[in-house]
Chain A
Amino acid sequence: MNNDTVLCLNNLSKRFGTIVANESVSIDLKRGEILSLLGENGAGKTTLMNMLFGHYMPDSGSIQVANVQGELAPLTLGHPQAALNAGIGMVHQHFTLAENLSAIDNILLGSESLFAWRRSMGAAREKINSIMLRTGLNAPLDTIVGQLSVGERQRVEILKALYRDARILVLDEPTAVLTPQEADTLFANIEVMTKDGLSVIFISHKLREVLAFSHRIAVLRHGKKVGEIATKEADEKIISRLMVGADTPSTPKEVLDVGAPVLQLIDLCAPGTSARSSLVRANLTVCASEIVGIAGISGNGQSTLAKVISGLTRPTSGRLEIDSEPVLTYTPASLLNAGVGRIPEDRHHDGVIGAMSVSENLAIERLDSSDIQKNGFLRKKKLKLNAQKLTQKYDIRGPGIESETRLLSGGNIQKLILARVFEASPKVILANQPTRGLDMGAVSEVGKRLLQARKRGAGILLISEDLDELMALADRIIIMHDGELHTAPSHDRAQIGLIMAGEIS
Chain B
Amino acid sequence: MEILEILLSENFWAAALRIATPLIFGVLGALICEKSGVLNLGIEGIFAAGAMAGWMAVWLGADLWTGLFFAALTGAFFGFIHAILTVPLGLSQHVSGLGITMFATSVSYFTYRTALPQVSSPPRIEPFQPLDIPILSDLPFLGPVLFQQTAMTWLALFLVALVWWVYNRTPLGQALRAVGDNPDAADAQGLSVYGLRIGAIVAGSACMALGGAFLTMSAFDAFFFGMVNGRGWVCIALVIFASWRPGKALLGALLFGAFDAFQVRLQTEVGAFLPSQVFLMAPYILSIFALVIVARRAEYPRALLTPWFKGQR
Question: A-side interface residues toward B, CB under 8 Å?
Answer: 50, 53, 55-57, 79-81, 84, 90, 92, 94-101, 105-106, 108-119, 160
Contact = CB atoms under 8 A, between A and B. Distances in A.
Contacts of A113: 171
B311 A55 contact: yes
A114 B172 CA distance: 5
* 10 A-B pairs closest in CB distance: A110-B189, A81-B190, A112-B171, A98-B178, A96-B185, A98-B181, A96-B188, A96-B184, A100-B181, A110-B191
Interface centre among B172, B188, B299, B311 (most CB of A within 10 A): B188
Nearest to A99: B181
Contacts of A117: 169-170
B258 interface: no
Nearest to B176: A114
B313 interface: yes
23 contacts: A50-B313, A55-B187, A57-B311, A80-B189, A80-B190, A95-B185, A96-B185, A96-B187, A100-B302, A101-B177, A101-B178, A106-B185, A108-B171, A108-B174, A110-B175, A112-B171, A114-B171, A115-B171, A115-B172, A116-B172, A117-B169, A118-B169, A119-B169
Interface centre among A79, A80, A84 (most CB of B within 10 A): A80
Nearest to B196: A114
Nearest to B188: A96
A14 to B, nearest CB: 10
A185 to B, nearest CB: 24
Contacts, number: 87
Contact of B175 (A53, A81, A109): A109
Nearest to B174: A105
B182 interface: yes
A363 B302 CA distance: 36
A293 to B, nearest CB: 32
Interface centre among A50, A57, A106 (most CB of B within 10 A): A106
Given A92-B188, A109-B189, A110-B186, 18 more contacts: A57-B311, A80-B187, A84-B190, A96-B185, A96-B189, A97-B182, A98-B185, A98-B186, A100-B180, A101-B174, A112-B174, A114-B175, A115-B171, A115-B172, A116-B172, A118-B169, A119-B169, A160-B189
Interface of B: 169-172, 174-175, 177-178, 180-182, 184-191, 299, 301-302, 311, 313
B190 A119 contact: no
Interface centre among A50, A97, A109 (most CB of B within 10 A): A109
B299 A116 contact: no
Contacts of B174: 101, 105, 108-109, 112
A325 B182 CA distance: 47
A117 B172 CA distance: 9
A115 B173 CA distance: 9
Given A96-B188, A116-B171, A117-B170, A109 B178 contact: yes
B189 A100 contact: no
B171 A99 contact: no
A109 B299 contact: no
A115 B176 CA distance: 12
B222 to A, nearest CB: 39
B197 to A, nearest CB: 14
A97 B186 CA distance: 8
A116 B180 CA distance: 20
A118 B170 contact: yes
Interface centre among A53, A90, A96, A118 (most CB of B within 10 A): A96
Contacts of A90: 188
A390 B177 CA distance: 49
A98 B190 contact: no
Contact of A110 (B170, B181, B190): B190
A106 B185 CA distance: 8
Contact of B182 (A53, A99, A105, A110): A99
Contacts of B178: 98, 101, 106, 109
Interface centre among B172, B185, B301 (most CB of A within 10 A): B185
B189 to A, nearest CB: 3
A113 B191 CA distance: 11
Contact of B189 (A99, A111, A115): A111
Contacts of B191: 109-110
Contacts of B185: 95-98, 106, 109
A98 to B, nearest CB: 4
Contacts of A118: 169-170
Contacts of B177: 98, 100-101
Nearest to B184: A96
Contacts of B184: 92, 94, 96
Contacts of B186: 98, 109-110
A116 B188 CA distance: 21
Given A80-B188, A98-B177, A119 B171 contact: yes
Nearest to B166: A117
Given A55-B187, A80-B188, A118-B169, A96 B182 contact: yes
A84 B172 contact: no
Nearest to A111: B189
A11 B222 CA distance: 68
B182 A119 contact: no
Contacts of A115: 171-172
A56 B191 CA distance: 15
A92 B189 CA distance: 12
A105 B169 CA distance: 11
A114 B190 CA distance: 12
B243 to A, nearest CB: 11
A455 B178 CA distance: 52
A112 B173 CA distance: 11
A57 B311 CA distance: 8
A117 B166 CA distance: 8
Given A80-B188, A96-B182, A56 B302 contact: no
Nearest to A91: B188
A97 B188 CA distance: 9
Contacts of B169: 117-119
A119 B175 CA distance: 13
Contacts of A119: 169-171
B175 A56 contact: no
A118 B173 CA distance: 10
B128 to A, nearest CB: 28
A100 B311 contact: no
Contacts of A160: 189
Contacts of B187: 55, 80, 96
A99 B191 CA distance: 17
Contacts of A53: 188
A114 B171 CA distance: 5
A42 to B, nearest CB: 15
Nearest to A116: B171
